[in-house]
A = this chain, B = another copy of it.
Amino acid sequence: MPLSKFFCKPDTSATVKRERRKEARPGELLAAALDLFVEKGFAATKSEEVAARAGVSKGTLFLYFPSKEELLKAVVRENISGRFKEWNDEFLSFEGSSAEMISYCMNVWWDRVGATKASGITKLMMSEAKNFPEIAEFYQREVIEPGQTLIRRILQRGIDRGEIRPLDLDYAVFTIVAPMMFLILAKHSPGICAPMTLAMDPKKYIDTQLGAILHGLLAAPAATSSPDKK
Contact = CB atoms under 8 A, between A and B. Distances in A.
B229 A99 contact: yes
Contacts of A223: 222-223
9 contacts: A41-B127, A41-B128, A43-B44, A130-B189, A137-B191, A144-B193, A177-B182, A214-B216, A220-B227
Contacts of A145: 195
Interface stretch (A19-27, A105-113, A163-171): A163-171
How often does this chain occur in the complex, in copies?
A: 4
A86 to B, nearest CB: 21
Contact of A212 (B39, B127, B216): B216
A188 B142 CA distance: 20
Given A168-B204, A172-B208, 20 more contacts: A41-B42, A41-B44, A98-B218, A99-B218, A122-B192, A125-B192, A144-B191, A144-B192, A144-B193, A148-B194, A163-B219, A164-B218, A171-B208, A177-B182, A213-B213, A214-B216, A214-B226, A215-B216, A215-B222, A215-B226
A89 to B, nearest CB: 20
Interface string A120-142: 00110111111100001101100
A2 interface: no
Contacts of A165: 217-220
A140 B172 contact: no
A74 interface: no
A185 interface: yes
A209 B178 contact: yes
Given A130-B39, A145-B195, A97 B174 contact: no
B226 A217 contact: no
Contact of A213 (B39, B126, B161, B216): B216
Contacts of A175: 208-209, 212, 217
A11 interface: no
A40 interface: yes
Contacts of A222: 215, 222-223, 226
A177 B129 CA distance: 23
Contacts of A194: 144, 148, 173-174
